[in-house]
């Protein structure tokens, strides 16, 4: 029963007592020992009958009626037909020994809840104790709610989440090193936990909508070690970059040297075929503005023809 049921029962009881007091008692005058006094006397009055019937009707409604909002699933079991009927919201009539009515929340819920923090401690792959402060959002699978009801029931299924969550989290956590969880693997671990939990809970009619690792907790001494490892890794990456830069520079110089050697080889071949080629190279390096050159060499070169 919910608040609505209790309100109907309370209203019915109030109407019953008020009508009895109002219509079945009256003040009468009594003379006793020469004194006249007034007293209340119970006398049945037909006017009270409608009120009694109304109060009984309201009390019965409060006991037998089941009201479900659209935020809930109403699961009704009929013992005569041995069948289950599922409704999203609505009104159901509970008949003892015939109907069994259970209400399941259709909304997404969070475990443990919005205000509490819940931490699971377990060992990482390198034997370090790691704490994961987590929140898990889950909901009821409407297509499998009958199985959920048969196996766990509306009051126990939430309690089933905690032990399974601990077991699966410890198993998944053992696949990662403490450094990876602290630095880069937190989101990946949360996604794998969601997959593993859904694989486990789908058999019971529970859907894991989301897993969030709010905080990773590790021993402070180990955090210092992680920082030292991170600094060492940064230095190693820097040294690796410098070595790569030096290697690229060496390759560049090697290519330049090879290019120069090929150029010299071509010039040497040209000189062997034409000794005057050296004069051409000399003149080619001179600015176009130079028109006259004095030399003790017997060679005569026409600058205008070079143009």
Tell me the three-class secondary structure of the chain, residue by residue: CCHHHHHHHHHHHHHHHHHHHHHCEEEEEEEECCEEEEEEEECCCCCHHHHHHHHHHHHHHHHHEEEEEEEEEEEEEECCCCEEEEEEEEEEECCCCCEEEEEEECCCEEECCCCCCEEEEEECCCCCEEEEEEEEEEEECHHHHHHHHHHCCCCCHHHHHHHHHHHHHHHHHCCCCHHHHHHCCHHHHHHHHHHHHHHHHHHHCEEEEEEEEEEEEECHHHHHHHHHHHHHHHHHHHHHHHHHHHHHHHHHHHHHHHHHHHHHHHHHHHHHHCCCHHHHHHHHCCCCCCCCCCCCCCCCCCHHHHC
Is the full-model pTM beyond 0.85? no
Q: Among 11-20, 38-47, 290-299, where is mean pLDDT lowest?
A: 290-299
Residue intervals of the chain classified under CATH 3.30.479.30 are 109-218
Give the whole-number percent of the chain exceeding pLDDT 70.
74
- Computed over every residue of the chain, the mean pLDDT equals 78
pLDDT-derived band at 207, boundaries 50, 70, 90: very high
Closest CA to 177 of 227, 211, 226, 117: 226
Q: Among 49-53, 184-188, 296-300, where is mean pLDDT lowest?
A: 296-300
Q: Give me the half-sphere count of Cα atoms (radius 13 Å) on the Cβ side of residue 47.
A: 10
199 or 231: whose pLDDT is higher?
A: 199
The pLDDT of 172-185, averaged and rounded, is 86
The pLDDT of 157-163, averaged and rounded, is 84
Q: Which pLDDT tens digit goes with each residue over 234-288?
A: 777 777 777 777 787 777 777 776 777 676 777 667 667 666 656 666 666 665 5
Highest mean pLDDT among 62-66, 77-81, 157-161: 77-81
Q: How far apart are CA 49 and CA 58, in angstroms?
A: 14
CB 17 within 8 A of CB 48: no
pLDDT-derived band at 306, boundaries 50, 70, 90: very low
Evaluate if residue 21 carries a pLDDT over 50.
yes
Q: How far apart are CA 108 and CA 242, in angstroms?
A: 53
pLDDT-derived band at 101, boundaries 50, 70, 90: confident
Query: Does the domain made of 109-218 have the CATH classification 3.40.390.10?
Result: no
Torsions phi, psi of 222, nearest 5? -70, -30
Evaluate if residue 5 carries a pLDDT over 80.
no
């Amino acid at each position: 029963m919910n608040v609505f049921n209790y309100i109907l029962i309370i209203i019915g009881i109030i109407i019953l007592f008020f009508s009895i007091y109002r219509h079945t008692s009256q003040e009468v005058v009594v003379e006793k020992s020469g004194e006249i006094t007034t007293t209340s006397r119970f006398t049945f009055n037909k006017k009270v009958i409608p009120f009694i019937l109304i109060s009984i009707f309201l009390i019965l409604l409060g006991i037998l009626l089941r009201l479900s909002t659209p935020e809930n699933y109403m699961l009704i079991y009929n013992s005569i037909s041995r069948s289950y009927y599922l409704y999203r919201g609505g009104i159901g009539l509970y008949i003892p020994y015939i109907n069994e009515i259970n209400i399941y929340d259709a909304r997404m819920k969070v475990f443990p809840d919005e205000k509490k923090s819940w931490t699971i401690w377990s060992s990482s792959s390198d034997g370090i104790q790691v704490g994961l402060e987590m929140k898990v959002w889950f909901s009821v699978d409407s297509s499998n709610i009958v199985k959920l009801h048969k196996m766990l029931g509306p009051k126990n299924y939430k309690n089933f989440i905690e032990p399974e969550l601990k077991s699966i989290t410890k198993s998944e956590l053992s696949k990662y090193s403490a450094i990876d969880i602290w630095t880069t693997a937190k989101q990946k671990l949360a996604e794998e936990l969601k997959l593993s939990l859904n694989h486990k809970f789908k058999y019971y009619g529970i859907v894991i909508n989301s897993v969030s690792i709010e905080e990773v907790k590790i021993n402070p001494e180990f955090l210092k070690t992680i920082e030292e490892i991170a600094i060492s890794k940064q230095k190693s990456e820097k040294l690796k970059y410098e070595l790569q830069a030096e290697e690229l520079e060496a390759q560049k110089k090697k290519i330049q040297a090879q290019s120069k050697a090929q150029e010299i080889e071509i010039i040497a071949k040209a000189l062997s075929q034409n000794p005057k080629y050296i004069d051409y190279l000399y003149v080619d390096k001179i600015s176009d503005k130079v028109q006259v050159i004095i030399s003790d060499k017997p060679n005569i070169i026409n600058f205008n023809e070079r143009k």
